[in-house]
Amino acid sequence: MSIIRLATLEDIDELVRMRWEFSEEENSDSTLNYEEFHQTCYEFLVKAMKSGDWYIWVAEDSGNIVSHMYLQLIHKVPRPGKSPDPYYGYVTNVYTRPAFRNQGIGSDIQLAMELWSKENKVEFLLVWPSSNSVQFYSKNGFFRCDEAMEKHF
């Protein structure tokens, strides 16, 4: 049974390693070596976690992190009659190590994130899923919407 918890600064080395693994699994054409990546990603995660706008849920099995899900709070411009600090959550960097997939761990993390989001008055969660992850998000209550637009540079 996995333990679901919020990540701490002590978890950053393992989170960097998992980000590297995830990227290697998706695209092994990296021109960056691990040491360079580690420094860049480590600095990003320290800053992100200290900002109060990023939260990372992890699943531990036998003391090792086996899965994670990141949430970035996006602050909205206040509106009359609404919460004084409105925000929504952007879900990203969801990864489970291959040996732990299809065991419900990702759903457990997503549920913990959802409960925290409700308690902290997050208006809604948003995710841009890969084609491989649409089924996971659908079974966990996410649905397609046509409201967002994007522009690439």
Rounded Cα distance between 6 and 115, Å, is 13
Rounded average pLDDT over 61-68: 96
Q: Which residues pair with 72 in a beta bridge?
A: 54, 90
Rounded Cα distance between 9 and 42, Å, is 10
Rounded average pLDDT over 1-6: 91
Q: In sequence order, which residues have a C-beta less than 8 Å from that of residue 33 and are 6 or more positions away? A: none
Note the pLDDT tens digit of each residue in 66-87.
Answer: 999 999 999 988 888 776 677 8
Going 127 to 131 to 137 to 141, the CA torsion angle's sign is positive
The reported pTM is 0.86
Quote the distance between the C-alpha of residue 124 and its chain's center.
15
User: Please, what are the domains in the chain?
Assistant: 3-139 (3.40.630.30)
Note the pLDDT tens digit of each residue in 81-107.
Answer: 776 677 899 999 999 999 999 999 999
